[in-house]
Amino acid sequence: MGVESRRWINENLHKLREKYPNKTIMVCDGRVVKVFDGATDPIHVNEVAREICQGKDWSYTFVSKVEEEYIL
Amino acid sequence: MILIDVEIYNYSKKRYELFEAIVDTGATFCAISKHIADEMGLPLHGPIHLWQVNGPLTPTKTTLKIRCGKSEHHVEGVIINIARDYLRPAAPDEECERPLTPHPLSSRVIVGKNFLEKLSEEERKEVLSYLVS
Protein backbone atom coordinates (compact mmCIF):
# COMPACT_ATOMS: atom_id res chain seq x y z
CA MET A 1 0.00 0.00 0.00
CA GLY A 2 1.14 3.54 -0.67
CA VAL A 3 2.53 4.62 2.68
CA GLU A 4 5.68 6.23 1.27
CA SER A 5 3.90 7.57 -1.81
CA ARG A 6 1.13 9.11 0.32
CA ARG A 7 3.74 10.78 2.48
CA TRP A 8 5.45 12.12 -0.65
CA ILE A 9 2.14 13.51 -1.93
CA ASN A 10 1.40 15.22 1.38
CA GLU A 11 4.88 16.76 1.51
CA ASN A 12 4.75 18.01 -2.09
CA LEU A 13 1.12 19.02 -2.42
CA HIS A 14 1.81 22.74 -2.77
CA LYS A 15 4.21 22.18 -5.67
CA LEU A 16 1.90 19.61 -7.24
CA ARG A 17 -0.98 22.08 -7.14
CA GLU A 18 1.01 24.46 -9.37
CA LYS A 19 2.13 21.79 -11.81
CA TYR A 20 -0.95 19.54 -12.02
CA PRO A 21 -4.05 21.69 -11.33
CA ASN A 22 -7.30 19.72 -11.53
CA LYS A 23 -5.51 16.51 -12.52
CA THR A 24 -5.40 13.10 -10.88
CA ILE A 25 -1.79 12.03 -10.44
CA MET A 26 -0.34 8.59 -9.78
CA VAL A 27 2.83 8.53 -7.70
CA CYS A 28 5.36 5.72 -7.52
CA ASP A 29 8.98 5.71 -6.31
CA GLY A 30 8.81 9.37 -5.29
CA ARG A 31 7.73 10.73 -8.67
CA VAL A 32 4.63 11.30 -10.74
CA VAL A 33 4.29 8.41 -13.20
CA LYS A 34 0.86 9.08 -14.70
CA VAL A 35 -1.49 12.04 -15.05
CA PHE A 36 -5.25 11.89 -15.72
CA ASP A 37 -7.56 14.77 -16.51
CA GLY A 38 -9.92 15.71 -13.68
CA ALA A 39 -11.16 13.39 -10.96
CA THR A 40 -10.75 9.83 -12.23
CA ASP A 41 -12.56 6.59 -11.43
CA PRO A 42 -10.34 4.90 -8.79
CA ILE A 43 -10.95 1.45 -10.29
CA HIS A 44 -9.46 2.67 -13.56
CA VAL A 45 -6.53 4.20 -11.69
CA ASN A 46 -5.90 0.82 -10.01
CA GLU A 47 -5.94 -0.95 -13.39
CA VAL A 48 -3.30 1.42 -14.75
CA ALA A 49 -1.23 1.10 -11.55
CA ARG A 50 -1.19 -2.68 -11.90
CA GLU A 51 0.54 -2.21 -15.24
CA ILE A 52 3.07 0.48 -14.42
CA CYS A 53 3.70 0.17 -10.65
CA GLN A 54 3.76 -3.62 -10.35
CA GLY A 55 4.43 -4.59 -6.73
CA LYS A 56 5.76 -1.15 -5.82
CA ASP A 57 4.52 1.36 -3.26
CA TRP A 58 2.16 3.71 -5.11
CA SER A 59 -0.66 6.13 -4.46
CA TYR A 60 -2.91 8.59 -6.26
CA THR A 61 -4.57 11.88 -5.52
CA PHE A 62 -6.84 14.40 -7.16
CA VAL A 63 -4.94 17.70 -7.13
CA SER A 64 -7.48 20.46 -6.91
CA LYS A 65 -6.39 23.79 -8.43
CA VAL A 66 -7.43 25.50 -5.22
CA GLU A 67 -7.58 23.96 -1.80
CA GLU A 68 -10.87 22.12 -1.35
CA GLU A 69 -12.72 24.09 1.31
CA TYR A 70 -16.37 23.58 0.47
CA ILE A 71 -16.78 20.18 2.08
CA LEU A 72 -19.16 19.93 5.00
CA MET B 1 -8.50 17.59 5.29
CA ILE B 2 -6.81 14.31 6.17
CA LEU B 3 -6.22 11.99 3.21
CA ILE B 4 -4.97 8.43 3.71
CA ASP B 5 -4.70 5.29 1.59
CA VAL B 6 -6.91 2.27 2.26
CA GLU B 7 -7.57 -0.89 0.27
CA ILE B 8 -11.17 -1.97 -0.26
CA TYR B 9 -12.27 -5.40 -1.48
CA ASN B 10 -13.71 -5.49 -4.98
CA TYR B 11 -16.30 -8.31 -4.98
CA SER B 12 -16.58 -8.25 -8.78
CA LYS B 13 -12.86 -8.68 -9.49
CA LYS B 14 -12.14 -10.56 -6.24
CA ARG B 15 -9.19 -8.35 -5.35
CA TYR B 16 -8.41 -5.25 -3.32
CA GLU B 17 -8.33 -1.77 -4.85
CA LEU B 18 -6.39 1.19 -3.45
CA PHE B 19 -8.49 4.25 -2.58
CA GLU B 20 -7.68 7.75 -1.49
CA ALA B 21 -9.81 8.20 1.63
CA ILE B 22 -11.00 11.32 3.42
CA VAL B 23 -10.86 10.83 7.18
CA ASP B 24 -14.09 12.23 8.65
CA THR B 25 -14.35 11.91 12.41
CA GLY B 26 -17.84 13.43 12.30
CA ALA B 27 -19.22 10.73 9.99
CA THR B 28 -20.78 7.75 11.73
CA PHE B 29 -20.15 5.41 8.81
CA CYS B 30 -17.82 5.06 5.86
CA ALA B 31 -19.23 6.26 2.52
CA ILE B 32 -18.68 5.30 -1.09
CA SER B 33 -20.41 6.56 -4.23
CA LYS B 34 -22.95 4.37 -6.02
CA HIS B 35 -21.15 4.30 -9.36
CA ILE B 36 -18.06 2.83 -7.66
CA ALA B 37 -20.08 0.50 -5.41
CA ASP B 38 -21.89 -0.89 -8.46
CA GLU B 39 -18.61 -1.44 -10.27
CA MET B 40 -17.22 -3.32 -7.26
CA GLY B 41 -20.33 -5.44 -6.67
CA LEU B 42 -20.64 -4.37 -3.04
CA PRO B 43 -23.31 -6.20 -1.01
CA LEU B 44 -26.54 -4.24 -0.40
CA HIS B 45 -28.13 -4.38 3.07
CA GLY B 46 -31.19 -2.15 2.73
CA PRO B 47 -31.77 1.51 3.59
CA ILE B 48 -30.66 3.45 6.63
CA HIS B 49 -31.90 6.89 7.72
CA LEU B 50 -29.15 9.37 8.59
CA TRP B 51 -29.32 13.04 9.55
CA GLN B 52 -27.67 15.44 7.16
CA VAL B 53 -27.53 19.21 7.52
CA ASN B 54 -30.91 19.95 6.04
CA GLY B 55 -32.82 16.74 6.61
CA PRO B 56 -32.65 12.97 6.52
CA LEU B 57 -30.63 11.09 3.93
CA THR B 58 -31.58 7.49 3.13
CA PRO B 59 -28.62 5.69 1.57
CA THR B 60 -28.19 1.93 1.19
CA LYS B 61 -26.05 0.12 3.75
CA THR B 62 -23.17 -2.11 2.73
CA THR B 63 -20.22 -3.89 4.31
CA LEU B 64 -16.76 -2.75 3.29
CA LYS B 65 -13.75 -5.01 3.72
CA ILE B 66 -11.01 -2.46 4.35
CA ARG B 67 -7.30 -3.10 4.65
CA CYS B 68 -5.19 -0.40 6.27
CA GLY B 69 -1.56 -1.20 6.97
CA LYS B 70 -1.33 -4.77 8.19
CA SER B 71 -4.88 -5.06 9.52
CA GLU B 72 -8.17 -5.86 7.78
CA HIS B 73 -11.59 -4.76 9.05
CA HIS B 74 -15.21 -5.39 8.11
CA VAL B 75 -16.86 -1.99 8.40
CA GLU B 76 -20.41 -0.77 7.80
CA GLY B 77 -20.64 1.71 4.98
CA VAL B 78 -23.27 3.65 3.09
CA ILE B 79 -23.68 3.99 -0.65
CA ILE B 80 -24.30 7.54 -1.85
CA ASN B 81 -25.97 8.16 -5.20
CA ILE B 82 -24.40 11.26 -6.74
CA ALA B 83 -25.95 12.98 -9.74
CA ARG B 84 -23.76 12.28 -12.79
CA ASP B 85 -23.13 15.99 -13.44
CA TYR B 86 -21.58 16.44 -10.01
CA LEU B 87 -18.88 13.89 -10.81
CA ARG B 88 -17.18 16.39 -13.12
CA PRO B 89 -15.82 19.89 -12.37
CA ALA B 90 -18.14 22.80 -13.12
CA ALA B 91 -17.31 24.43 -16.46
CA PRO B 92 -16.20 28.10 -16.26
CA ASP B 93 -19.21 29.25 -18.31
CA GLU B 94 -21.69 27.06 -16.47
CA GLU B 95 -24.50 28.72 -14.54
CA CYS B 96 -23.93 26.79 -11.38
CA GLU B 97 -23.16 27.85 -7.83
CA ARG B 98 -21.60 24.60 -6.75
CA PRO B 99 -17.89 24.52 -5.85
CA LEU B 100 -15.57 24.35 -8.84
CA THR B 101 -13.98 21.15 -7.60
CA PRO B 102 -15.74 17.85 -8.37
CA HIS B 103 -17.71 15.98 -5.71
CA PRO B 104 -15.22 14.51 -3.20
CA LEU B 105 -16.68 11.02 -3.61
CA SER B 106 -16.14 11.03 -7.37
CA SER B 107 -12.62 9.68 -6.86
CA ARG B 108 -12.39 9.05 -3.11
CA VAL B 109 -14.15 7.32 -0.26
CA ILE B 110 -14.89 8.61 3.23
CA VAL B 111 -13.69 6.65 6.24
CA GLY B 112 -15.78 7.55 9.26
CA LYS B 113 -15.76 7.08 13.00
CA ASN B 114 -16.71 3.41 12.78
CA PHE B 115 -13.51 2.71 10.81
CA LEU B 116 -11.29 4.71 13.16
CA GLU B 117 -12.70 2.76 16.12
CA LYS B 118 -11.49 -0.49 14.54
CA LEU B 119 -7.88 0.72 14.44
CA SER B 120 -5.40 0.20 17.23
CA GLU B 121 -4.56 3.27 19.29
CA GLU B 122 -1.19 3.46 17.56
CA GLU B 123 -2.76 3.27 14.08
CA ARG B 124 -5.38 5.88 15.00
CA LYS B 125 -2.71 8.29 16.27
CA GLU B 126 -0.75 7.81 13.05
CA VAL B 127 -3.80 8.58 10.89
CA LEU B 128 -4.74 11.68 12.88
CA SER B 129 -1.14 12.92 12.89
CA TYR B 130 -1.53 13.70 9.18
CA LEU B 131 -3.65 16.69 10.25
CA VAL B 132 -0.78 18.41 11.99
CA SER B 133 2.12 17.33 9.74
Q: Report ipTM for this prediction.
A: 0.91
In chain B, which among 1-40 make CB contacts under 8 A with chain A? Answer: 1, 3-7, 10, 17-20, 22, 35-36, 39-40
Q: Is the pLDDT of residue B132 over 60?
A: no
Distance CA B26, CA B8 (A): 21
Supply the DSSP string of B50-91, one letter for each residue.
Answer: EEETTEEE-PEEEEEEEEETTEEEEEEEEEE---GGGGSPPP
The model's pTM:
0.91
When pLDDT is cut at 50, 70 and 90, the band that residue B86 belongs to is confident
Mean pLDDT value across residues B100-116: 91
Residue B118: per-residue pLDDT? 95
Name the burial class of residue B39, with classes exposed (0-12), middle (13-18) and buried (19+) by CB atoms within 10 angstroms of its CB: middle
Residue B110 pairs in a beta bridge with: B22, B31
- The partner residue sitting opposite B20, judged by closest CB among A61, A70, A71, is A61
Which one of B1, B6, B20 makes the best mutation probe of the A interface by having the most chain A beta carbons within 10 Å?
B20
